Amino acid sequence: MVRIMRSQRGFTLVEVMVAVTIFSVGMLAIASLQISGMRHTRISALRTQAYQDAYSMVEEMRANQLAKENNFVDYMGVDSAAQLTDQVSCLNDATDCTPSAVAELVLFRWLTRLTELPEGRGIVCMDASPGDSAYGTGTWNWACDGAGQAAVVVKVGWRETNPPGSAQDYTYATLEVLGGGL
C-alpha cells in the first residue's frame, strides 16, 4: 500500500536558492563597506601625516630665532629638496651654522619627509589670502602672492585617489597652516 504524504518536511530548492541569494547580497554589501572604510582610513592617515608635517615645519621655524629676525626669507619659495643640500654639518658642529644653513637643513629634511605622501610636496611662502588653494581640485593650487604684510603660510599637497566611477581618478589635496604668531 502506498501512502501519500500530506505534509512536507525541509526546504525546496527554490527556497534554498532565494536564501543563498539574499545572504550573498548582504555579504557583498559588507565587503563594499569594508573596502570603503579602508579607503577612508588611508585618506585620514594621509591628512594626519600632512598636518603633522606642516605643523612640525612651523615649529622648526619658530625655533630658529635668527631666521625670525630676517622674516624667514631663508625658508621662502623652495618647493623641492633637489634645490637644497643636507646641511648635516649643522648637526655635528653648531658653531659654523648660520641661520640660512639651519633653514636649509630643516627644509631639506621636511621636503624629503613629504615624499612619503603620494606625490607629496610643500612650500613655505608669504600669502595675504591664504585659503585660496581649493581642496580637492584636479590641479595644484599654490597661489602665494607675497604681498605686503602677508602671513607666513606652510602649504602641503598630495594626491588622493577618488572612488571608482568619479569624474577624475584622483584629486590634489592641499592644506595650509598659518604660521601666525611666528
What Cα–Cα distance (Å) separates residue 22 from each residue in 7, 11, 28, 171? 26, 16, 10, 36
Q: What is the C-alpha to C-alpha distance for residues 127 and 110, in angstroms, rounded to an integer? A: 20
Residue type, 69: E
SS3 content of the chain, % helix, strand, coil (to 5): 45, 15, 40
Phi and psi angles of residue 15, each rounded to the nearest 5 degrees, phi first? -65, -40
User: Does 131 map to a domain?
Assistant: yes
- The three-class DSSP label of residue 97 is coil
- The three-class DSSP label of residue 133 is coil
- The three-class DSSP label of residue 111 is helix
User: Does 167 map to a domain?
Assistant: yes
User: Does 93 map to a domain?
Assistant: yes
User: Does 2 map to a domain?
Assistant: no
> Is 159 exposed, middle or buried (CB count within 10 Å of its CB: 0-12, 13-18, 19+)?
middle
User: Does 7 map to a domain?
Assistant: no
User: Does 114 map to a domain?
Assistant: yes
What Cα–Cα distance (Å) separates residue 84 from each residue in 25, 79, 87? 55, 10, 9
User: Does 3 map to a domain?
Assistant: no
Joined grid coordinates for residue 8: 512536507
User: Does 5 map to a domain?
Assistant: no
Domain of 81, in residue numbers: 13-178
Instruction: Give the number of domains in the chain.
Output: 1
| pLDDT given for residue 104 in this prediction | 82
Name 122's bridge partners.
156
Q: pLDDT digit string (tens) for 160-179?
A: 776 666 656 555 666 666 65
pLDDT tens, residue order, the chain (182 aa): 566 666 667 778 899 999 999 999 999 999 999 998 998 898 888 888 888 888 888 888 888 777 777 777 777 777 776 776 666 667 666 666 777 777 888 888 888 888 888 888 888 888 776 665 555 555 555 667 776 667 778 888 887 776 666 656 555 666 666 655 55
Q: What is the C-alpha to C-alpha distance for residues 110 and 82, in angstroms, rounded to an integer? A: 12
